[in-house]
A and B are shown apart, each in its own frame.
Chain A
Amino acid sequence: AQSVTQLGSHVSVSEGALVLLRCNYSSSVPPYLFWYVQYPNQGLQLLLKYTSAATLVKGINGFEAEFKKSETSFHLTKPSAHMSDAAEYFCAVSEGGPGNQFYFGTGTSLTVIP
């Protein structure tokens, strides 16, 4: 069975500082992994996805994530936080299957301090 753990429900960083949001997964098969961002009063928007092509994945808005199989992790990073990065971030895993079911983590709320 798949599951996703996001460590830290709330993360605060100063503007210009490194952003690191943690995601660990459990999966019985090679997973596909996704990071989504949710801005206030909006739906979820895809940031990036890992589909087994390359372990370091670059996404939109300067975010990237590295797939580490040995650590079952897919942490999200950004070198320099902007005020506009303040949002809720969700990690999700899919093992495929015809229904393409996703399993989401509980989310991490990112606050950027000016």
Chain B
Amino acid sequence: DADVTQTPRNRITKTGKRIMLECSQTKGHDRMYWYRQDPGLGLRLIYYSFDVKDINKGEISDGYSVSRQAQAKFSLSLESAIPNQTALYFCATSERTLSEQYFGPGTRLTVT
């Protein structure tokens, strides 16, 4: 089984709808991250979490919110989706500072 899983893998939604992307990990890592990937822009950090009680904004947090329900679960919400949030979203985890990050398979989100 994969160490970092994301659901759903693909989602099409309409403008104005609320949507939640979920991430689960079995690696036992404290640090979790949400990124979005756009062609030509690489990966940009949306939010990250040190642990259940610590949530931090990343580079592009506007229009997004997150919830860390447990050490293993980190959810990303779009309160009112808009078309320019169409992107590939990745969840990642890391064990400690300066260690590599481990990525999930991604969620492809399309907002029409």
Contact = CB atoms under 8 A, between A and B. Distances in A.
B105 A102 contact: no
Given A102-B45, A106-B40, A107-B42, A94 B105 contact: no
Interface in A18-54: 32, 34, 36, 42-46, 49, 51
Question: Across chains A and B, which 10 residue pairs bring their CB atoms closest together, nearest first?
Answer: A43-B103, A106-B42, A44-B103, A104-B43, A104-B42, A100-B97, A96-B97, A43-B105, A96-B98, A32-B98
Interface residues of B, number: 28
Interface of A: 9, 32, 34, 36, 42-46, 49, 51, 90, 94, 96-102, 104-107
A94 B58 CA distance: 14
A100 B98 contact: yes
Interface string B29-71: 0010101000011111100101000001010000000000000
> Which of A34, A44, A90 gathers the greatest number of chain B CB atoms within 10 Å?
A44
